[in-house]
Structure 1
């Protein structure tokens, strides 16, 4: 048999097995109360050359490329489900944490890294920059479906979605300071404003173009709309990166603009990207698990240094950054404690730790291993205790319900009607009303009700109850009127 064909077969077989294990791992993680990304990393480490020996992988450049693409998809999916109203309510504290908070965290961790790792100041600040930001993949994954108070959850999600550019900028800047003779500090400061400003501008432009294109172009299959949408995320990142600006910020803003628009096939787009984000998250963390070698990671030297730095990060640097970043912003002491504890580290620090490796920075392998250990400690310790911690601090709200969505009637983009799925909760205006007493717009019909897993055929006298799932047929022209009735 041809060897190359055999290698391809092995690659496809191993990839399928790893993805199946990754998907099943999500179920195990929920039962164990351990963040899924920890188990994804464990799958990678076990599958590697120092585990079962299925795969030998030490290509930091390829891992970096895969990691960045995965982060683009994950940020896009998170942005699609972030409402502008939510962002507006938490913009000030979230953006302060994403900028000032990252700078404070970077500085405090750098001081500890200088002492513990016995490295130069520039290398210490490089280490602090790498672990300075919270991670969108980790935060989105851990908070999804949890009933943490909305303001706190939104602050953490917006912070994690917007602080990656600051961490990337600081990391690249310190690498340049270490590798370039006579670097210009003025140029570096100007570069920061260039990256942030142009990233926002390009994200806004591609968000607008994306919404217009999705709604105006009739594609032959509804399955093409989710693919079409994600293309704008990849395009926004690549063009912004070509311009030496913040591609991740552009992606997040473009995603929010697309997600907050009145969009054709919204449900298909959101659900496709939710699944796609899971695939990329599984792939990314397995690859990162393959990249690290346990014999280098779990040494006494790395363990004690990593633990000390993780403790400094979790119990000192993050809390101080939170306190100074959100002064006089309406958070009480319990909420500040929770925001401090929920500052998860994840894929971004590990991906950023590959930058010094590729740049040939002295002690880069040691920095990578310690960063990896700090991330494992942060995710395992903080990620597995966020919900119980919120309950102890009495910071949980009502149980979250799935957002409403539309079920497409046909497989092409030419239908003028949708079936809206709506779950009735305790705050719903139509709760306890009979259907005949609900002021539904013209050409709107409640077709079916699912009540405690049973199908109820609606009549005028049917009373709407908490927990009911309604399937409502509505013309696109009347959808806004229906939203007003349901207050969706």
Structure 2
């Protein structure tokens, strides 16, 4: 049993590691995931933590982290950026995600003989890139502005799509139901969220437009997010999709009002409050969740379980991701000449790290009582490590192929 002072010291040490990792990320461009996962492994060994206890907590922690990811994804989805680079962004997102999903599912099903649901869940978890790693990194690396925008949008939307696919699969095949057409079940799981999320956002926007000078409004917004999630789930719809729509409409609402009703000022006070308060406070919450979740993931990671079989699985899946990315990049044309296109292709190929969303989605099946393969989480962590090591080693390669002067475009 840990005494209270020791517990508080450990919490402070983990937060300190998170800050250290964030600083190292800025200085060395080494993502903090590896440092924090290593800290989790060391913490489990030092405290002799029972792994079964950690697994019992995983469904609740994973569900909360999922909500935070979706809320942040909605807050940072800028419709103006989507409009500017929507063709390249959607092409990269659709091709990379679909090809990765198909390749991973085929490898898991036919080579490593996974159960079909486990294969689909792992494919979904590992087909999305990490916005938490990509977005800050592309703003520090020299690359053309269109490439930066495409990568930011792809990583933000791929997280959302992976979450929706995973939750939909679990809702249809893991929860007891009366049967029925899967297409109708998918439609039903999204319909409630399609009206609850936006309506709640407009209603909450009207409220906070009048309470913006009151303290603790962010906590009230966070409570509203939880109400949206619970309301969607109560009508058997996707709570995480409802939260994403709630955050997206809340963030872009003032801009949409000005676009479709030019006579309105889009509630300037709401616009200012959203920029200064919600994003700032939520960034701090996301930092805490990301820090503790990667440490938590390290506690789940049993390095003694790594075998030749697991390394073969992780290696095969990583190779499949590289092939899928390469096949996608050759179809994307960014730049006016061969040199610009080559520089863009380098960046698009390299920036495919897996991170928080993949890690969270690997634990979500436990929330639904799905029995996953013993190597499910271990393989996921290996892929997170492989892709982050690759991006760390390859940043200089990308910058060497970038045209002079593009650093000013991204700063």
* Common fold by TM > 0.5: yes
Q: How far 1:86 sits from its partner (Å)? A: 0.9
What is the number of equivalent residue pairs in this alignment? 388
Contact 2:63 2:364 in 1 (8 A): no
Q: Distance in 1 between matches of 2:154 and 2:328?
A: 13
Relative to its length, the structure with more helix (as a share) is 2
Relative to its length, the structure with more strand (as a share) is 1
Contact 1:37 1:138 in 2 (8 A): no
Q: Deviations over 1:119-168 (max 9, x none)?
A: 35554334322312223333334335545433333323333333334324
Task: Work out which of the two has the higher radius of gyration on C-alpha atoms and give 1 or 2.
Answer: 1
Residue in 2 that maps onto 1:13: 9
Q: Deviations over 1:83-142 (max 9, x none)?
A: 321122233443455455423321112222234423355543343223122233333343
Structure with higher RCO (Cα < 8 A, 6+ apart): 2
Residue in 2 that maps onto 1:367: 376
List alignment gaps of at least 5 residues for structure 2. 255-267
* Residue 27 in structure 1 maps to residue 47 in structure 2: no
Say which SS state the counterpart of residue 123 (structure 2) adopts: helix
List alignment gaps of at least 5 residues for structure 1. 402-488
Q: Distance in 2 between matches of 1:225 and 1:231?
A: 10
Residue in 2 that maps onto 1:163: 158
Contact 1:169 1:192 in 2 (8 A): no
Q: Distance in 2 between matches of 1:180 and 1:237?
A: 18
Residue in 2 that maps onto 1:398: 408
* Residue 143 in structure 1 maps to residue 138 in structure 2: yes
1:227-266 map, 5 Å:
227-260=219-252, 261=254, 262=268, 263=270, 264-265=272-273, 266=275
Contact 1:72 1:248 in 2 (8 A): yes
Say which SS state the counterpart of residue 114 (structure 2) adopts: coil
Contact 1:56 1:290 in 2 (8 A): no
Residue in 1 that maps onto 2:276: 267
Contact 1:206 1:254 in 2 (8 A): yes
Contact 2:335 2:341 in 1 (8 A): no
1:216 to 210, 213, 219: 210
* Residue 319 in structure 1 maps to residue 326 in structure 2: yes
Say which SS state the counterpart of residue 375 (structure 2) adopts: helix
Q: Distance in 2 between matches of 1:146 and 1:158?
A: 17
Say which SS state the counterpart of residue 35 (structure 1) adopts: coil
Task: Say which is worse superposed, 139-148 or 100-109, in terms of deviation.
Answer: 139-148
Say which SS state the counterpart of residue 163 (structure 1) adopts: helix
Taking structure 2 as the reference length, what is the TM-score of the superposition? 0.79
Taking structure 1 as the reference length, what is the TM-score of the superposition? 0.68
Q: Distance in 1 between matches of 2:149 and 2:236?
A: 29
